[in-house]
Amino acid sequence: MDDSALIEARGLRKHFPMREGLLRRQTSWVRAVDGVDLCIRRGETVGLVGESGCGKTTVARCLLHLIRPTAGHVYYRMPGEVRRRMKELEHDLEGHEEAEKASGGHGPVAAEMASISERYSLEAMSARQLRVQRRNMQMVFQDPYASLNPRMLVKDLVGEPLLVHGMARGEDLDARVVELMEMVGLSADHMYRYPHEFSGGQRQRIGIARALSLRPELVVLDEPTSALDVSVQAQILNMLNELQSELHLTYLFISHDLSTVRYMSDRVHVMYLGKIVESATAAQLFEAPLHPYTRGLISSIPVPDPSRRRGKVPLAGEMPSPSDPPRGCRFHTRCKHRMPRCEIEEPPLIEVARDHFLACHLPNGTDDHGA
């Protein structure tokens, strides 16, 4: 089952240079994304949660290659056997680090890795190939007020992708646009209007129609409802769910709102300071969170029942700056289970239960559920 990855990121890193002073000298790096592995299978919804500024959106932009990652690869539609082979190679590479280094990174293992990347990674694509590839992977943006060109008619906004890829023109294009608009719950009368004539929810529907016009396989939903009213949020989320089953879409659902992530996702990754700290199926993650950060996030979901007192594990303090992340475990500055080891050694992301990955030195994270 794990073989049917639609898109997979390995060791994704994005560091932004910080420039200061008169000469704009580069002084330090903001490590927005610092080594993220992400695998999205065909037809599922993967949730990505974390506080603002933890690098969720940067992951999305790197995944679609809207910005070039500093390091790492994004593989698209890599066959299962190739994927297994690559994992073997990665394992070999770790074991034979010395030998590979001696050959200057051109050993047989590295060479085979390179040839796999050449075939399946987005980095290896030319600008033209990447543009064509964009038919398969689309994005719905966070802010429906900023992501629609204010000087274009809705008809042109929704039809632009089809025009760009030469998939329709003239009356054919208009017919396709009407179809798309009706699919997202807008009427054909709305075609000849400007975005500013619509409400936030309607604008987001336009954004969704635009993203779906190319019939993509993967849609990255970057906080698609965070700018909307709660009632409108529900409508949009339900529509996205319906469209997913109708059009066999694969979603990466990014949000800081845990309730919506739980509602939408099959699997959930929790991000903190540019790294994934825990990932599991949605049910598992919300029922039995292991990482102290995940537990903190979940207990901060408001419960609409004053008589029910949950064991609160509020998150204290603020997220440190990604330009100067803490040594060791990145969460140790805010963790109440901090051990001396946490300040020195960074915990790797390991599988602690079936399909449940955790980056924490405590053997099972925080075992004291409901404390």
Residue 193 near other proteins by CB under 8 A: yes
302 binds other proteins (CB under 8 A): no
Q: Tell me how far, at minimum, the Cβ of 126 lies from other proteins, in Å.
A: 13
Beta-carbon contacts of residue 230 (< 8 Å; ≥ 6 apart): none
Under rule CB under 8 A, residue 314 binds other proteins: no
Interaction pattern, residues 166-185, with other proteins; x per rule: CB under 8 A: ----xx--xx--x---x---
Shortest distance in whole angstroms from residue 143 CB to other proteins: 6
Per rule CB under 8 A, is residue 62 in the interface with other proteins? no
- Out of 71, 124, 167, 214, name the contact with other proteins by CB under 8 A: 214
Interior angle at CA 183, CA 182 and CA 185, nearest 5: 60
By the rule CB under 8 A, 134 interacts with other proteins = yes
User: In Å, what is the CA distance from 290 to each residue of 34, 136, 230, 237, 268?
Assistant: 22, 35, 29, 27, 13
Judged by CB under 8 A, which of 117, 142, 202, 333 binds other proteins?
142
Q: Which is nearer to other proteins, 254 or 273 (CB)?
A: 254
Residue identified by tokens 């800081």 is 256
For other proteins, the binding residue among 148, 209, 252, 360 (CB under 8 A) is 148
Q: Does 210 bind other proteins (CB under 8 A)?
A: yes
- 24 part of the interface to other proteins, by CB under 8 A: no
User: Given the complex with other proteins, which of 130 and 362 has the nearer CB atom?
Assistant: 130
Contact 213, 184 (CB under 8 A): no
Return the residue of 153, 167, 232, 352 that touches other proteins, per CB under 8 A. 153
Token pair of 55 as six digits: 């690098």
CA dist 251 and 40 (Å) reads 8
Is 262 a residue that touches other proteins (CB under 8 A)?
no
Among 75, 76, 120, 141, binds other proteins (CB under 8 A): 141
Instruction: Report the 10 Å Cβ neighbour count for 36.
Output: 26
Question: Among residues 78, 56, 79, 97, which one has the least CA distance to residue 253?
Answer: 56
Q: Which is nearer to other proteins, 42 or 193 (CB)?
A: 193
Least distance in angstroms from the C-beta of 38 to other proteins: 18
Distance of CA 280 to the CA centre of its chain: 15
Residue 16, number of CB atoms within 10 A of its CB: 16
Q: Give 45 or 138: the residue with its C-beta nearer to other proteins.
A: 138
84-121 b/e (C-beta count within 10 Å ≥ 16 → b)? eebeebeebbeebeeebeeeeeebebbebbeebbeebb
Q: Which of 36, 110, 112 is nearest to 74 (CA)?
A: 36
Nearest CB to other proteins, comparing residues 86 and 228: 228
- Which amino acid type is present at position 172? D
Euclidean distance between CA atoms 220 and 60, whole angstroms: 7
Nearest-approach distance from CB 251 to other proteins, in angstroms: 15
**Binding flag, residue 155, other proteins (CB under 8 A):** yes
Q: Which residues bind other proteins (CB under 8 A)?
A: 61, 64, 66, 130-135, 138-139, 141-143, 146-153, 155, 160-161, 164-165, 170-171, 174-175, 178, 182, 188-189, 191-194, 196, 207, 210, 214
